Amino acid sequence: MSPAPLESILDLAPYAPGLSIDEIRIRYKLSEVVKLASNENPLGAPPLAVEAVRKNAASIFRYPRGGNPLLVETLAQRHGVDQSRIAIGNGSDEIIDTLMRVLATPGKDNIVCFDPCFSIYPIQAHISHLSVRRVKLGSGFSFDFDALLAKTDQHTRLVFITTPDNPTGYCPPAAAVENFACGLAEKCPAALLLVDEAYMDFSPEEKEYSLLARNKLLPNTGFLRTFSKSWGLAGLRIGYAVLPADVADAFWRARLPFSVNILAEKAAIAALADTAFREAVLETVAAGRLLLSKALRDLGCEVFPSAANFLLFAPPRDLICARDCFEKLLERGIIIRGLQSYSMPDYLRVSIGSPRENHLFLEAMADILKKAGA
């Protein structure tokens, strides 16, 4: 008999990755497939990062330097914080997972988050044997901070909020986040508020929405950022956090020593220096977001305001349901994100693409809605 895995692990639904470009190309015999499902960078990878990967390819027989010191220094400078606050991980996913194990006691403590939210928070909590206490999003998918605070108790060790939120695009003002952090400090002195700012670079008014951008570093609050979205390095797996120094210290003790590989570290440093690419990305996303919002509304869709590089929308209900719309887009070679796993089956999420990708998506939507109305 083979060893029996834990019941708590067998309870997990296997991770369902989105459909790949190749699968759809073969299934529908298409020459071109557009993927706007994972909020990847619309302009691809930063040229300076690609060059850094090429230049350092021959070094891959070496282990990385422990603690990623060059990147720590670069990021500390960028955010104007002490190096002791910086954590780096194999994607921000690794930081989320490690912090749960560093801060919370299995079988006893809990985490608190919104419902729906980024699925990694509840899944990793479950794997770490922490209970998950959830608060439904308010009207228009806004955050009810009073309800969030009410869910916390003396066993709460982590509270997650995502600003701008995924999958909704909603972003609360920094003052509301600060107010919540202060309330949490009073009620649960042992809890860390983790503000996931994976999409904050795309926000039109970063200073209005980000405590990190304002350099408001509260003793019970940490910030997650990633190289996967605006920096165009999703496939290399690298993310970082700005944390209270004692939490960052505990993180580094627990993190696997070499989880961030040397090419990822070199590419991240090069990406931070690629200012031309950076400006082009932010312009492309801002212009694309405006264009897609307006065009989808003109087609009769309900579109939610977004501060991120994606839009949440519902197709016109009298013409077509979200699921059929998703399938008909697939047949036409356009992959977007259905939201069944977020318990939002009536909505779809589309990433802002390049001008050409946006055009192909809108052309397909117009065709689908015209045929549905005929």
Ligand X SMILES: *Cc1c(COP(=O)(O)O)cnc(C)c1O
Binding residues (CB under 6 A) for ligand X: these are 39, 91-93, 118, 162, 166, 196, 198, 226, 228-229, 234, 239
Q: Judged by CB, which is closer to ligand X: 118, or 180? A: 118
Which position's Cβ is nearest ligand X?
91
Q: For ligand X, which is the closer residue by CB, 184 or 200?
A: 200
**Residue 193 near residue 222 (C-beta atoms within 8 A):** yes
Contacts from 363-368 at CB under 8 Å and sequence distance 24+?
A: 364/328, 364/329, 364/332, 364/333, 364/334, 365/296, 365/299, 365/301, 365/315, 365/325, 365/329, 366/299, 367/332, 368/320, 368/325, 368/328, 368/329, 368/332
What is the number of other CB atoms lying within 10 angstroms of the CB of residue 253? Answer: 9
Nearer to ligand X, 74 or 98 (CB): 98
Nearest approach, Cβ of 201 to ligand X (angstroms)? Answer: 12
DSSP, collapsed to helix, strand or coil, labels residue 157 as strand
Residue 47 Cβ, how far from ligand X at the closest point, in Å? 21
Least gap, CB of 217 to ligand X (angstroms): 20
Helix (H) or strand (E) holding 335: strand 334-335
Minimum distance between the CB of residue 154 and ligand X, rounded to whole angstroms?
Answer: 27
Report how far residue 267's alpha carbon sits from residue 46's, in angstroms, rounded to the nearest whole number.
9
CB 162 to ligand X: min, Å: 5
Give the C-alpha separation, 242 to 219, whole Å: 11
* Tokens standing for residue 370: 């015209």
Considering the complex, state which of residue 24 and residue 198 has its C-beta at the smaller distance from ligand X. Answer: 198
Largest distance between two CA atoms of the chain: 63
Beta bridge partners of 162: 196
CB-CB neighbours of 10 under 10 Å: 8
Q: Which is nearer to ligand X, 114 or 277 (CB)?
A: 114
Q: Which is nearer to ligand X, 81 or 198 (CB)?
A: 198
Dihedral angle, C-alpha 305, 307, 308, 309, nearest 10 ° = 70
In this complex, which beta carbon is closest to ligand X, that of residue 41 or of residue 166? Answer: 166
CB of 165 to ligand X, least distance (A): 8
Pairwise CA distance, residues 272 & 110, whole Å = 36
Q: How far is the CB of 311 from ligand X (least distance, A)?
A: 14
Cβ proximity of 212 and 242 under 8 Å = yes
Least distance CB 168 / ligand X (angstroms) = 11
Shortest CB 92 distance to ligand X, Å:
4
CA 256 to mean position of chain CA atoms: 22
Q: Which is nearer to ligand X, 124 or 226 (CB)?
A: 226
Cβ proximity to ligand X, 162 vs 293, nearer residue: 162
